[in-house]
């Protein structure tokens, strides 16, 4: 699983200009079952996306195609982790660590 942390690199007004395209991009990956949760940071300096079921190379490709990235208004920090414990609602994304 991955934590995709976005940090805005442009004023919020520039981010807002890309918001509709960003939300459509999010919706596509929710529909594909890749994105599990997302939202704004507090204070509003970026956002966080939880993603699963893809490789690191794939999640990096997905981040690169985010309209925010394409427009140059955010930078991503991607952290991979093994979700060995989850809520019941996320039980399908639990992982067994390699020995």
Can you tell me the distance from the alpha carbon of 82 to that of 47, in angstroms, rounded to the nearest whole number?
21
The number of residues making up the chain comes to: 99
Q: What is the structure's pLDDT at 12?
A: 96
E-state strands within the chain: 2-8, 35-40, 46-51, 74-80
Q: What is the structure's pLDDT at 52?
A: 95
Mean pLDDT, residues 80-95 taken together: 87
Mean pLDDT, residues 35-60 taken together: 97
Backbone angles phi, psi at 53, to 5 degrees: 80, 15
Q: Please, are residues 8 and 28 in contact by the beta-carbon 8 Å criterion?
A: no
Instruction: List the one residue out of 99, 98, 78, 93 whose CA is nearest residue 34.
Output: 93
pLDDT at 40 > cutoff 80: yes
Q: What is the structure's pLDDT at 98?
A: 73
Instruction: List the one residue out of 70, 99, 89, 92 whose CA is nearest residue 1.
Output: 92
Query: pTM of this prediction?
Result: 0.92
């Amino acid at each position: 699983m991955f934590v995709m942390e976005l940090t805005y690199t442009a004023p919020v007004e520039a981010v807002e200009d890309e918001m509709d395209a960003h939300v459509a991009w999010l919706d596509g990956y929710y529909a594909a079952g890749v994105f599990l949760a997302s939202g704004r940071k507090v204070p509003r300096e970026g956002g966080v996306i939880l993603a699963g079921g893809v490789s690191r190379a794939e999640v990096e490709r997905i981040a690169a195609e985010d309209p925010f990235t394409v427009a140059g208004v955010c930078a991503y920090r991607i952290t991979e982790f093994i979700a060995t414990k989850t809520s019941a609602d996320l039980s399908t994304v639990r992982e067994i660590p390699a020995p």
